[in-house]
Structure 1
Amino acid sequence: IITGCVILVIAICFYCCLRLLKRSGIRELGYHKTKYERSKNILNEACPVCLEDFMAKESVLVSLCHHAFHDSCLLPWLRENNKCPLCKTGIGAATEHTPLTSTI
């Protein structure tokens, strides 16, 4: 019984660590998870990948360029690309998202 309890505790800890790593990995890629609301600073009302409209309070990933995506649509894209699927803005360090200033 003790061995079973120890295995259960280890499994729960492992699951929690994996969820934490997944969340921090998404943030590191330049996205944050939020609940969709029209009034928020999100440029699109539908997911550009699957073309489905976002529902109120639906969980979405929002990029630094303010484009929103379903996480199930965006995560496969991010495994292969480091750019926003919609505007091709580079994802990563904050300096990549700041506009270039003209030196004329």
Structure 2
Amino acid sequence: MFSAGWGQELGDLLTAARPPHPGLDDDGTLYTRMDATGLFTPLERVEVGHVHRTDRARLVGSIASMSFVGVLPEAERADLLGRADALLREHGVGAVALAMKTTVRTARRR
């Protein structure tokens, strides 16, 4: 998820809190299953890289905006965000440039 030294820890923290998601937990059969329906053109995948410049507070805000975080009960959400913030502070994260990858999957209805 994140490539910085502290990134694995943060990624593990978020992954543990995230429920299963077909776009993130694809077992390699997504394309086959889509094709098997006959309802869509073959699924295409494009990856676009970019750099996201941010700081610790905004990164925690970005985590807070993730849908699986937003639907957590208030106490769990506050705990997760507090642990993320503490981890970033522990590693001295201030201003940071994150190498990001956006994956876009498209198909057209037949």
Task: Provide the TM-score with structure 1 as the length reference.
Answer: 0.23
Highest Rg: 1 or 2? 1
Task: Provide the TM-score with structure 2 as the length reference.
Answer: 0.22
The structure where strand makes up a greater share of residues is 2
Greater relative CO, 1 or 2 (CA 8 Å, sep 6+):
2
